């Protein structure tokens, strides 16, 4: 029998009604989501412009859910303090958006929140091993960032497999910690490393991603159309 992977599901509030962000945040929480995925776009790194630290603060006041902030911006370092002050529990920025990847990861963690590193579909996976032990999660975009409702890119599945196999080969666990170091610190119960996917996620594409090695699913349009609670439960029940 295939081993069941622990799956977490994060509705992307980018697909919500922006006029009712607080209500939508409470709806997500009531549906049993593990976190809210919060996209911020600067209109430069991606053509679209969306949300802000101020809107993040409004959502933070409306819910106790974990706030996973994904910034599609140039100069991500400049956003970190404002996002932390606004309630971010995790900040993920793009490898392609800065020349100081290591410094940005380190500063996010220094501010007391989790640090994620995102990769666009066209970016080579050869860039990932250098940063994986400095990251709390790797986000592999399964669409081109910046717009909702795009079709899933199946070629990213090979990248998911590469990252999961790399983590298993070198026994890299939760938070980018190598297993031998975790045991030395009495942290042998760490979960498997977090590989997140975002874009075109529905029941079918989510299953393919989980089989490839993903364990964090971000979904927008799919979850906001219809019975969100049932869809979240079904996604959490997927098997690798």
Low-confidence ranges of the chain (pLDDT < 50): 1-2
Q: Which of 42, 68, 89, 198 does the annotation list as catalytic?
A: 198
User: What is the model's pLDDT at position 5?
Assistant: 82
CA dist 214 and 207 (Å) reads 9
Q: How far, CA to CA in Å, does 154 sit from each of 11, 20, 116, 209, 219? A: 21, 33, 22, 9, 16
Domain boundaries, the chain: 8-236
SS3 3: coil
Does the active-site annotation cover 171? Answer: no
Whole-Å CA distances, 29 to 155, 191, 227, 229: 32, 23, 13, 9
Sheet hosting strand 90-94, strand order edge to edge: 8-11, 216-219, 194-198, 137-141, 114-119, 90-94, 66-72, 35-42, 49-50
Choosing from 17, 23, 39, 189, the catalytic residue is 39
Q: To the nearest whole percent, how much of the chain has pLDDT over 70?
A: 95
pLDDT at residue 186 in the model = 59
Fold of 8-236: TIM Barrel (3.20.20)
Residue 89 annotated to the active site = no
**For residue 183, what pLDDT is reported?**
64
Strands 114-119 and 137-141: parallel
- Using one digit for the tens of pLDDT, what is the confidence trace for 16-54? 999 999 999 999 999 999 999 999 999 999 998 989 999
pTM of the model: 0.95
């Amino acid at each position: 029998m295939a081993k069941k992977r622990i799956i977490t599901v994060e509705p992307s509030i980018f697909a919500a009604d922006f006029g009712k962000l607080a209500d939508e945040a409470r709806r997500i929480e009531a549906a049993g989501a593990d976190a809210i995925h919060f996209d911020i776009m600067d209109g430069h790194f991606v053509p679209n412009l969306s949300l802000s630290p101020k809107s993040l603060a409004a959502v933070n006041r409306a819910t106790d859910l974990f706030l996973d902030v994904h910034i599609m911006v140039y100069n991500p370092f400049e956003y970190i303090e404002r996002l932390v002050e606004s309630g971010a529990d995790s900040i993920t920025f793009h490898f392609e958006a800065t020349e100081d990847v290591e410094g940005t990861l380190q500063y996010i963690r220094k501010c007391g929140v989790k640090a994620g590193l995102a990769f666009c579909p066209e970016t080579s996976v050869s860039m990932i091993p250098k940063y994986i032990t400095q990251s709390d999660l790797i986000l592999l975009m399964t669409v081109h960032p910046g717009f909702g409702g795009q079709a899933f890119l199946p070629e990213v599945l090979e990248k998911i497999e590469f990252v999961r196999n790399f983590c298993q080969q070198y026994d890299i666990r939760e938070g980018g910690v190598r297993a031998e170091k975790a045991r030395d610190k009495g942290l042998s119960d760490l979960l498997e490393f977090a590989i997140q996917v975002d874009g075109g996620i529905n029941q079918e594409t989510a299953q393919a991603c989980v089989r490839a090695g993903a364990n964090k699913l971000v979904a927008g349009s799919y979850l906001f159309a219809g019975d969100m609670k049932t869809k979240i439960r079904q996604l959490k029940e997927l098997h690798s």
